Structure 1
């Protein structure tokens, strides 16, 4: 579905802009430039859930076994690949580790009812942040809170992925499972895209306004381990209002992409191809950051140039690759190898 490819391409572009930087400037232009911060990654995860749901539709509808081999293969590659990529000097929190484990956790839910999916999503969105805050006093100052890499002991990896890392599993289950639920809807129907746009913008704006109101009454949270933090809608705060607002933005973008009927035109080909090679493009931008861009950029202008250049290079590569192949290089690797029996 080209609309999903386009949305995936926008998610990749947003993550490239955020990861490239610069960071720390509070000027108006940089605030506009960093609009994808805390939103593009949620869109990426939401689309991942939709993709897994569509991938397993036949098994669900025909009541046949799930493609366990393919699913576990993806989990393993994304987990190990993400851990290895975190070792590069790109100054980015790689999202592939959590993406792989989200697929693993979602396997028991792939044949569950829609109501069960919504229940799991709601529990993650509301109770996940509460559990996150409740555990912080016990682990604060004892464990590393940065991105999870391959050089860490297994125990610290597990704690980092579930609790202390930039994408704690307790919280990020919610957008992924929502994606699994959305993958069961008739996304091609106009009324569905309209509802996604309405509910998406309502959630994005509404949660933000509620946060502003609560912070105005109770004040800004003074620490990451106080319950007052629950009122925050700051990007990547791991709190419910940010999760609802950011996921609402992702749902709105998805609805807009589904509403557009002109994706087949050649003018959109670079974006479509980039979305079809999303994993390759994501890994490619990490390599470009590590070996070409870093330690910069230092100014907003440099950041915009670096982002534009990176996106352009990846789009050209995707366009040239798709002229010859139907799947990207890393997308091919994601397909589980088929073991052929020897003929006797």
Structure 2
């Protein structure tokens, strides 16, 4: 999720990554808190507790994950250009980098949460990294094919989805015999949860390995194309492209997102496409809008700097936010839940603030996050001897020749 230290950092990319990481937590926090509306936090929200949940879903569900995927593709393009500048064969080093990311993702999946995205990202990156050697026009064709495959799978899944079951009687919940008492069920320990995730590995990886890859490939390649198009250069062309992304993405994506919740024809189709097709459209709008705001405000405000801190430590913060939420809300941890909508939003804000503070304090002493430091050392390890020999040859070639 982070770039090589040898590459000059693009400040707006750090801010965008930070926003994407915190926004992804806004989607996932509901899983941790098992949000319901019948506890004390629901009473704080009162009648609009459900509205808070709805607004959060409209803003975040799949949108920030889409943004993170686009930015991952931007990072791939940056790595590709760096490899060419340093004379490295592409994509061999990047494939090794992706294998390490997959291993990191498996550890995160097994020890922390079942909805890890790192393994899926690594798998797709391994497949599409060679495509970056293509000319831009052929890369556009590859991007279109990935998008078409994703849409085909989406509509095929919707067509083959089993019809909804008959609704339960209205008095079902009032019938004591119909309610299943789960209070006597033993809560699983942490190690039982880990064992369960490993035992049912393939069942828990359907999204990462089957549903998401065509979409991830499309968004990665879009990110690479946007980098080549100069979206992050800061010139007039970049500003024009940002405006087009904001207007097109939000102008199309927001109405489609809202359509799902309105009594209109096709709302069921909109609901079926919400997370994996409509949300990425909104993500492009978010990308353009954030870049416009950063350029208009200079990108150096307090909040922008804190998001940038999270972006510079993106891998560490992504894993840390899940660890913190797991410890706070799991039954074997502090067990602070379930929470209502307002409580869930407060929990998200608190964990986000903790991430920003931790990233800020860490970066005062180190240039990268803790996981980034370890991961970077592992990435460079197999090539260290070759790089040193190449540097030695370069210095000998550049050394002045003495004339006797």
Q: Map 1:103-118; keep pairs closer than 5 Å.
A: 103-118=125-140
On the 8 A contact 2:102/2:122 being kept in 1, the answer is yes
> Residue in 2 aligned with 1:308?
349
User: Aligned partners of 2:368, 2:280: CA distance in 1, in Å?
Assistant: 33
User: Aligned partners of 2:287, 2:351: CA distance in 1, in Å?
Assistant: 26
On the 8 A contact 2:253/2:281 being kept in 1, the answer is yes
Q: In the TM superposition, what is the alpha-carbon distance from 1:327 to its structure 2 partner?
A: 1.0
1:94 aligns with 2:99: no
Q: In the TM superposition, what is the alpha-carbon distance from 1:61 to its structure 2 partner?
A: 6.5
Q: In 2 relative to 1, CA 322–27 (structure 1 residues): closer, same or farther, beyond 3 Å?
A: same
Q: In the TM superposition, what is the alpha-carbon distance from 1:158 to its structure 2 partner?
A: 7.7
User: Aligned partners of 2:263, 2:55: CA distance in 1, in Å?
Assistant: 24
Q: Map 1:15-54; keep pairs closer than 5 Å.
A: 15-21=24-30, 23=35, 27-34=50-57, 35-54=59-78
Aligned-partner SS, 1:125: helix
Q: Map 1:251-262; keep pairs closer than 5 Å.
A: 251-256=287-292, 259-260=295-296, 262=298
User: Aligned partners of 1:260, 1:55: CA distance in 2, in Å?
Assistant: 28
User: Aligned partners of 1:128, 1:286: CA distance in 2, in Å?
Assistant: 28
User: Aligned partners of 1:232, 1:54: CA distance in 2, in Å?
Assistant: 35
Q: In the TM superposition, what is the alpha-carbon distance from 1:253 to its structure 2 partner?
A: 3.8
On the 8 A contact 1:38/1:246 being kept in 2, the answer is no
1:122 aligns with 2:161: no
Unaligned ranges ≥5, structure 1: 141-147, 222-228
Aligned-partner SS, 1:94: coil
On the 8 A contact 2:362/2:369 being kept in 1, the answer is yes
Q: Deviations over 1:103-135 (max 9, x none)?
A: 212211122122222222222223322134436
**Greater Rg by CA:** 2
Specify which of 248, 251, 254 is matched with residue 284 of structure 2: 248
Q: In 2 relative to 1, CA 260–47 (structure 1 residues): closer, same or farther, beyond 3 Å?
A: farther
Q: In 2 relative to 1, CA 218–256 (structure 1 residues): closer, same or farther, beyond 3 Å?
A: same
Q: TM-score, normalised by structure 1?
A: 0.78
The structure that is helix-richer by fraction is: 2
Unaligned ranges ≥5, structure 2: 1-9, 38-48, 163-195, 389-404
> Residue in 1 aligned with 2:321?
285
Q: Map 1:184-195; keep pairs closer than 5 Å.
A: 184-186=228-230, 187-188=232-233, 189-195=235-241
Considering only aligned residues, what root-mean-square deviation do their CA atoms show, in Å? Answer: 3.4
Q: In the TM superposition, what is the alpha-carbon distance from 1:266 to its structure 2 partner?
A: 5.5
Q: Deviations over 1:173-201 (max 9, x none)?
A: 11111011112132222431332232333
Q: Map 1:1-344; keep pairs closer than 5 Å.
A: 1-21=10-30, 23=35, 27-34=50-57, 35-60=59-84, 65-66=89-90, 68-69=92-93, 71-88=94-111, 90=113, 93-134=115-156, 150-152=198-200, 161-164=208-211, 168-186=212-230, 187-188=232-233, 189-207=235-253, 209=255, 212=259, 219-221=266-268, 229=269, 232=271, 234-236=273-275, 238-239=276-277, 242=278, 245-256=281-292, 259-260=295-296, 262-264=298-300, 268-294=304-330, 296-335=337-376, 336-339=379-382, 340-341=384-385
User: Aligned partners of 1:121, 1:254: CA distance in 2, in Å?
Assistant: 24
